[in-house]
Chains A and B, each alone.
Chain A
Amino acid sequence: AQSVAQPEDQVNVAEGNPLTVKCTYSVSGNPYLFWYVQYPNRGLQFLLKYITGDNLVKGSYGFEAEFNKSQTSFHLKKPSALVSDSALYFCAVREKNRDDKIIFGKGTRLHILP
């Protein structure tokens, strides 16, 4: 069965520092991996996804994520955090070539401190 874990409920980072939001996954085969973001009082938005190819995926707002097959991880990163990055972040996984539903993690709340 597919599953995804976000081990941190909350991450606090000072503005200007690099940030990492962790995600690990479990699928039987090869994964498609996604990050979504929910800003305060706004809907969920797609941020980036890994399908195949280069393990480093670049997305919106300067975010990137690195697919690590051996560690079954897909951590979200940004070199320099902005206060406006404060939001709720969700990692999601789906097994390649299956029509099963996408599975979301429970979310990590990111606080960027000015």
Chain B
Amino acid sequence: GAGVSQSPSNKVTEKGKDVELRCDPISGHTALYWYRQSLGQGLEFLIYFQGNSAPDKSGLPSDRFSAERTGGSVSTLTIQRTQQEDSAVYLCASSFPAGGTDTQYFGPGTRLTVL
């Protein structure tokens, strides 16, 4: 039983480049979240996938950010034309929302540095 995995663990990129961050949730978990955390601060919600429902994209900070979840499993968060303010740790979490009582399991995160 592997936990939530994320890749890469670290990503350094130049301003203006596109990046893709990957999340492999726990098998069978239908809910998947992306968060952003800057410098050990609070969690900023980005996007929420739940089963086959339309994702809740209300937290995406700009149209440079997008995410998809293929086959209800792996998710990719894409940031286009990266800016220095995008530098943060990007966290993915998955859960099996049994009537809302779900416990979230977090991945180790991807540390993104935009130079």
Chain A interface residues (CB < 8 Å from chain B): 32, 34, 36, 38, 43-46, 49, 51, 88, 90, 94-107
Residue of chain B at shortest CB distance from A94: B100
Q: Are A49 and B103 in contact (CB under 8 A)?
A: yes
Q: Tell which of A99, A102, A107 touches B42, judged by Cβ atoms closer than 8 Å.
A: A107
C-beta contact mask, B15-41 vs A, less than 8 Å → 1, else 0? 000000000000000000101000011
Q: Are B48 and A101 in contact (CB under 8 A)?
A: yes
Is B53 an interface position by the 8 A CB rule?
yes
C-beta contact mask, B87-115 vs A, less than 8 Å → 1, else 0? 00001010001011111111111000000
CA gap between A102 and B56 in the complex, in Å: 11
Query: What number of A-B contacts does a CB cutoff of 8 Å give?
Result: 60
CA gap between A103 and B59 in the complex, in Å: 11
* Selected A-B contacts with CB under 8 Å, 5 pairs: A36-B106, A45-B106, A49-B101, A101-B48, A102-B104
C-beta contact mask, B35-64 vs A, less than 8 Å → 1, else 0? 100001111010010100100100000000
Q: Are B33 and A101 in contact (CB under 8 A)?
A: yes
Q: A43-B109, A107-B43 are in contact. List 16 more A-B contacts (CB 8 A).
A: A32-B100, A36-B106, A38-B40, A43-B108, A44-B104, A46-B103, A49-B103, A90-B42, A94-B102, A99-B100, A101-B33, A102-B33, A104-B43, A104-B45, A107-B41, A107-B42
- Using Cβ atoms and an 8 Å threshold, which residues of chain B touch A46? 103-105
Residue of chain A at shortest CB distance from B59: A101
| Given A43-B107, A43-B108, A102-B104, A97 and B99 contact (CB-CB distance below 8 Å) | yes
Q: Are A44 and B50 in contact (CB under 8 A)?
A: no
The interface centre, meaning the residue of A38, A99, A100, A105 with most chain B CB atoms within 10 A of its CB, is A99
